[in-house]
Amino acid sequence: MNKIWIIFCLCLFVGAPLAAQEYTVVRGERQFADLGNWGAYSGGEMTLGLGVAQSPSGPKGGGDYTKPGAVLGAAALVDMLPFLSTGAEYNYAAFRTPAAVRGTEYTLQTQEVFGLFKFKWNVAKNFRVYAPLGVGGAWLRLTRRQAGEESFRDKWAVAATAGAGVEVDLSPTYFIGAEYRYVLPFIQTADLDPANGSSRYLQMHHFFVRIGKRFF
């Protein structure tokens, strides 16, 4: 949680002075005149992401919940300032234990919905770095398979996310990028697995390749 607040404060510290600068948004053109290497597009964007998910949390004595699994994501954002977009994001991830833990196999599925802030910096022509930061909720299902029998437990939890990424423009409308995301649902593994869980919070790492379309 402290890491997320540190990232949030740094983004505000860097970005806030720029909000006071005068700028003009021209549809389809990045603005550098009054913002140095900062810029923006008018309108908004939609992105789709596909990647790998990993969780360093797992049952006691069993290591991680993953053989790294898969994650899918989609986001829709609206430009609010030259350096800031905001909107909503949905992610689905699924992973399982690499091997049975005391004869039990685990599969973890998560669905995450975030209100998202995207702080972005244009560092070169057609190239940006950005930092997403969000708060929302996560639905989690832990499935246990043992001796041919299957059971599961569902939980909802408040969740937070932070990360970093890069984007390259393919055209004035389309772009592609890579992103790392840290996701922290505020739930202990014992809440999902009372028998073998622990008091530590469930954590997840997402690694995305994203493709996006910009709207003007």
What CATH number should be reported for the domain holding residue 180? 2.40.160.20
pLDDT of 211 > 70? The answer is yes
How far is 140 from 92, CA to CA, in rounded Å? 10
Query: Rounded to 5 degrees, what are φ and ψ at 7?
Result: -60, -45
Q: pLDDT tens for residues 64-92? A: 566 788 999 999 999 998 899 999 999 99
Please say whether the beta carbons of 105 and 145 come within 8 A: yes
Tokens of 53: 């998910």
Report the number of distinct structural domains present in the chain. 1
Q: pLDDT tens for residues 110-156? A: 999 999 999 999 999 899 999 999 999 999 998 888 777 888 889 99
In terms of Cβ atoms closer than 10 Å to its own Cβ (0-12, 13-18, 19+), residue 65 is buried
Q: Name residues whose C-beta falls within 8 Å of residue 57's C-beta, 6 or more positions apart in sequence.
A: 64, 65, 189, 200, 201, 202, 203, 204
pLDDT of 17 > 80? The answer is no
Cα–Cα distances in angstroms (integers) from residue 200 to residues 31, 56, 144, 156, 161, in the given order: 45, 11, 19, 16, 17
Tally DSSP H helices, then E strands, for the chain: 2, 8
Please say whether the beta carbons of 99 and 106 come within 8 A: no
Query: Rounded to 5 degrees, what are φ and ψ at 58?
Result: -175, 180
What's the whole-model pTM score? Answer: 0.76
- Please, how many CA atoms are within 13 Å of residue 71, restricted to the half-sphere of its CB? 29
Per cent of the chain over pLDDT 90 is 50
DSSP letter (8 states) at residue 127: E
- Please, how many CA atoms are within 13 Å of residue 65, restricted to the half-sphere of its CB? 31
Name the 3-class secondary structure at 13: helix
How far is 157 from 140, CA to CA, in rounded Å? 8
